[in-house]
A = this chain, B = another copy of it.
Amino acid sequence: MTTVDDTTPRSMSEVSGPSRLAGPDEGISTEELQLAARNHGIPLEALRYDVTPAGLHYLLIHYDIPDLDPATHALVVDGAVARPLTLSLADLRDRPRVTRRVTLECAGNGRALLHPRPVSQPWLVEAVGNAEWTGTPLAPLLREAGIAADAVDVVFTGADHGVERGVEQDYQRALPVADALREEVLLAYEMNGAPLLPQHGAPLRLIVPGWYGMAHVKWLRSVTVLTEPFEGYQNAVAYRLRQDADDPGVPVTRIEPRALVRPPGFPDFMSRARVLRPGPCTLDGRAWSGHAPVVAVEVTTDGGSTWAPAILDEPTGGDFAWRRWRYEWSPRPGRYVLGARATDASGRTQPLEQPWNRGGFANNLVQRVEVTVVAE
């Protein structure tokens, strides 16, 4: 690009364009790659860990990781409440302490596999993790503040600041009041028994079990009760299921069921295709849903032509944590395409044809893991 240095007023529109879809033969752009280089998924072999270790959990950071001082950070509870509150981290740590194992998944997981491809963070299937979050429940705090009888939405504001599709903003997401008052919702200050890492929202974040990642506001600094619907960018514009740019769409909320296969054997460096030797092999992976507990996982080794039931291990983390599944397999030499399909207690299951929407959200198409079983 050429460099300009003049006094012409500059506006956000110079740096922030509208959303778009990739052309039919358009490869991943440098802009998408920049996002992929900083927002990483879980390496699929790490599905072996029931609790995802630090640094392996997926990350999606809209702007920059802010630099917050836990010693001075405060949470403000305001808006339509009788008694506004300001709490330090110490105040929050003095309140009832709860630890919950929760699976978080990015609402855009699977986006880069869609045709046409929405141009944004280019996830394949790996935008997930299952961590132990420790904090204090939000609902009692809202009740103490005296939430208004006519409250509609509760807005959660983070300290991360940026511009998105021309709108300068601090990251803000609202929950309907009934969802904000669910007993499972946490103000979390620890992950896996340690203080939150900067990239996971240090020193404080929201955890909304069952919902996609966009609801779990990081670097949380305020909780504001509204008596009218919140019209902020992330609720009204960004995270909606739309068929086209003019479709008002519906909000993205809870996680659709998904199962992932932990790729067996060993990989080729470049293609990540798997190599396996003949003989008995236990296939396994994890399955989750934000709507209801997973009740069944089926496995395919032929790209979805036929399916067989997997064994579900006992739940280890309650209704909002993933569950391990396994399947005994003994392949002959050949090429196989593995996949797994989760079904939850609400009857929801995974599609074999891609669900498509303009944002590439809530996509839970069955994964394809290519395996070559070599003879020798």
Give the contacting residue for A374; candidates B4, B9, B370; CB below 8 A: B9
Complex alpha-carbon distance, A12 and B12, angstroms: 51
Interface flags for A328-343 (1: CB within 8 Å of B; 0: not) read: 0001111111000000
B4 and A334 contact, CB distance less than 8 A: yes
Complex alpha-carbon distance, A63 and B267, angstroms: 6
Give the contacting residue for A54; candidates B41, B54, B119; CB below 8 A: B54
Q: Does A199 contact B (CB under 8 A)?
A: yes
> Which 6 pairs show the lowest CB-CB distances between chains A and B?
A27-B27, A55-B55, A40-B40, A9-B375, A28-B28, A164-B269
B162 and A8 contact, CB distance less than 8 A: no
Q: Does A148 contact B (CB under 8 A)?
A: no
Interface flags for A8-40 (1: CB within 8 Å of B; 0: not) read: 111110111100000000111111111111111
With CB as the reference atom, state the residue of chain B lying closest to A39: B40
A15 and B273 contact, CB distance less than 8 A: yes
With CB as the reference atom, state the residue of chain B lying closest to A304: B3
Listed in ascending order, the chain A residues whose CB lies under 8 Å from chain B are 1, 3-12, 14-17, 26-41, 43-46, 48, 53-57, 59, 61-65, 67, 112, 119-120, 122-124, 126, 161-165, 168, 197-200, 263, 266-275, 301-303, 305, 331-337, 370, 372-376
- B residues less than 8 Å from A65 (CB atoms): 43, 45-46
Complex alpha-carbon distance, A8 and B278, angstroms: 12
B40 and A67 contact, CB distance less than 8 A: no
* CB-CB under 8 A for A15 and B163, given A335-B3, A335-B4: no
Copies in the complex: 2
A55 and B9 contact, CB distance less than 8 A: no
Complex alpha-carbon distance, A160 and B251, angstroms: 43
Complex alpha-carbon distance, A336 and B16, angstroms: 16
* CB-CB under 8 A for A163 and B266, given A15-B273, A375-B10: yes
The smallest C-beta distance from A352 to any residue of chain B, in angstroms, reads: 14
10 contacts between A and B (CB under 8 A): A5-B331, A5-B336, A16-B268, A27-B27, A27-B29, A46-B198, A63-B266, A119-B270, A163-B267, A165-B270
The residue among A30, A55, A273, A336 with the most chain B CB atoms within 10 A of its own CB is: A55
With CB as the reference atom, state the residue of chain B lying closest to A122: B33
Give the contacting residue for A335; candidates B5, B33, B163, B266; CB below 8 A: B5
Give the contacting residue for A372; candidates B15, B53, B123; CB below 8 A: B15
Given A15-B271, A16-B273, 13 other A-B residues pairs in contact with their CB atoms under 8 A? A5-B332, A10-B333, A15-B273, A17-B271, A28-B33, A30-B124, A31-B270, A37-B40, A38-B41, A40-B40, A62-B269, A164-B268, A164-B270
Complex alpha-carbon distance, A9 and B376, angstroms: 8
- B residues less than 8 Å from A267 (CB atoms): 63-64, 162-163
